[in-house]
Amino acid sequence: MTSNCEQTLGKLKEIIDRRLMNAKSYLICNHRGGALTVDAMGKRFAKIRAQAIAKFPELKDELSACQFRDLRAKSGTDAYLQSDSVETAQKHLGHANPSMTKRYIRRDKALTPLENCGTPAKIAEKSDE
């Protein structure tokens, strides 16, 4: 696990521990200090998405396709890309099985081009030899 990931997890643990000390406190609160429901979070997401579409109309199709549930997959993908490990992403998402985690990962690592391998034509010539 990268030190950046470890720092973030450490901070998150501190926040959760602090919240758990006060049994009346919720991890994610509404403006009155009560629990923010999944429905309320979904409505907030839809409102923010609508604001983004109004501000960036040229991205309407892409933004309209985004759903609240995509945030979980994004989080898992980010954990995977930062850590270089499906296992780290698996722990981050709380999955028992790495095959489930692989379904959540939306993008693979970027490949680094090989140096000194030549042009595609030269590579084709070498394979004909």
The confidence band for 8, taking pLDDT boundaries of 50, 70 and 90, is: confident
Residue at 13 is within a domain: no
Q: Are 76 and 102 in contact (CB under 8 A)?
A: no
| Angle, in degrees to the nearest 10, between helices 86-93 and 70-83 | 140
Over residues 3-28, the mean pLDDT reads 76
Q: Which domain holds residue 78?
A: 69-107
Residue at 119 is within a domain: no
Q: Considering the chain, what is the average pLDDT of its residues?
A: 81
Q: Is the pLDDT of residue 102 over 80?
A: yes
The confidence band for 76, taking pLDDT boundaries of 50, 70 and 90, is: very high
Count how many domains the chain has.
1
Residue at 11 is within a domain: no
- Percentage of the chain beyond pLDDT 70 is 78
Residue at 98 is within a domain: yes
SS3 29: strand
Measured between alpha carbons, how far is 5 from 84 in angstroms, rounded to an integer?
A: 11
Over residues 111-123, the mean pLDDT reads 55
**pLDDT score at 109:** 65
Residue at 117 is within a domain: no
Residue at 79 is within a domain: yes
Q: Which residue has the higher pLDDT, 17 or 2?
A: 17
pLDDT digits (tens, 9 = 90+) for 42-58: 999 999 999 999 999 99
Other Cβ atoms less than 10 A from the Cβ of 12: the count is 11
Residue at 46 is within a domain: no
Residue at 84 is within a domain: yes
